[in-house]
Structure 1
Amino acid sequence: MAAGGSRRERRKRRERPGVSHCGRKPIAHYVLLSNFTDQGIRTIRDTQKRAEAFKEKASKSGVKIHTLLWTQGKYDVVVVAEAEDDIGATALGLSIASMGNIRTEMLRAFDSADMGKILAKMA
């Protein structure tokens, strides 16, 4: 018998809606585009400490931060993250925005596999 059960058992696991072939929920990707507020600029020397606190808060809320970058241009900070659902990601975004140091725009992002599913559903 193959690792992970019979072929039929593996197929059943793949076919369950909302559950990946590994038995876990699919992961959603997010891009957060942030700008410092006046308060955030006044306390800019604390930005690295705030970033570490943000990563800890994200981890506790089930959001994995892949990348956090300070940038030049239209946005001051860009974050790439993943979460199991929009609710956890949105709660994290609102939580950090409520501190008053940044304003954040959150974008739901799609990897190649998700984009393939989207294209397959097009009429």
Structure 2
Amino acid sequence: MATFISLVNFTDQGIRNVKESPNRAEAFKGLATKLGLTVKSMYWTSGSYDLVLVTEGTDQAAMATLLSVGSLGNVRSQTLLAYSADEIKKIIALMP
């Protein structure tokens, strides 16, 4: 399973309906589970991003979940593929 970190911003529509954000988050968790993505943590944040998500699953599950949520028009996201210390050690070991 891959780990993904998603940096999320509300769109104009999303911030207008910010009071619904916790309910949308629960719906997101349900959709993610249905599509094979596990939500490990979710934080509302201050600063450059409005939410940060940590998820685990396949590339396809992550893409399907994020595209589905993005199509609703409340958020935009940037998603990073993340590596644990053990995973990056294995990657580095492959280097010549």
TM-score bracket for this pair, using the shorter chain length: over 0.9
Partner residue, 2:20: 46
Per-residue CA deviations over 1:30-87 (Å, capped at 9, x if unaligned) read 001000000001111100000000000011111110101000000000000100x211
Identity %: 44
Equivalent residue for 1:98, pick from 56, 66, 71: 71
Q: Which has the larger radius of gyration?
A: 1
Please give the TM-score of this superposition, normalised by the length of structure 1: 0.76
Query: Residue 28 of structure 2 aligns to a residue in which SS?
Result: helix
Q: Which runs of 5+ in 2 are unaligned?
A: none
Aligned length in residues: 96
User: How large is the RMSD of aligned CA atoms in angstroms?
Assistant: 0.7
For 2:13 and 2:53, how far apart are their aligned partners in 1?
20
State which of 76, 84, 93 in structure 2 corresponds to 1:111.
84
Which structure shows the bigger proportion of residues in strand conformation? 2
What is the TM-score normalised by the length of structure 2?
Answer: 0.97
Within 5 Å, which residues of 2 pair with 1:76-87? Answer: 76-83=50-57, 85-87=58-60
Q: Which runs of 5+ in 1 are unaligned?
A: 1-26
